[in-house]
Structure 1
């Protein structure tokens, strides 16, 4: 935990130290952001989301929420509050645009090939009256929109962690997801995450 806290503090100091003028967004992305997300946004660790090809407007919105400390889940606190706290609006827009322009790489995982079948059904058709089809907000191939993130190719473990966060009040900007998550059981959540990783 101390290492994580030090990372956040170092990030805040690094970014705040040159806050007098906007910095080159690509340089920020390739130096600081790359530590967790990879220089091209295709992170290899499921601790950190893959942000290559993510919608620029969505990324920008999330960076502002981190900067405002509105996202209060533990990972947001540990990794992103300090980093985003020193970013200007122009730098946020530039970093978001840089990662949006990167090419997402396939993220296939070995495992039970039948497992994502239930997840595919939920993504395309929803479940009963309480869970709408995911594609209605996230796009037919989970490519995302300005309001909803790209989910295709995301680490299943990261998706599952965020789905559990949605069941709390730690992501207030995603109120609509709270009711949806409560309509799915653990096996369905796992299957949905596995399906999305394979897209």
Structure 2
């Protein structure tokens, strides 16, 4: 009985530290994935000042490997839709990562990054041929925790799901910006008024 009491006290203490979960999730994202996505984004930029609007040939090869192979790696032969997708993918790596780390619009940024990782994974599997490499895909419940797709990306998405559900936590721009904004107070749900009981 004493052990149960101590356990319940411990559980109550841990429940009060709930704010720490999204804060640590953002820290893990920053420590593990921020530089990965930013370096990946840098490889997609074109030359010069306007390179952010004119992605490199390597960007097209990363995102549309089969289409690039079909046109002899001349991205000038690809259409406007290809350019828009590559541009959006490049900007997403910078912008979504920045929003998550600073804790601004965190839930939307986390959902966007989950979509990005899903598209990245599909491109790796079907565009780059990883579907034919069992070691790269891996599997769950196989005692090997180091595959790129099934293991690593599952952890990436889990961290992002935590942020999408719990938000950025108290140490964030979301908290700073939204705490005193009058339009944010109006949008927040109000507790229902207490019902008077008849005498």
Q: TM-score, normalised by structure 1?
A: 0.24
Q: TM-score, normalised by structure 2?
A: 0.24
More helix by share: 2
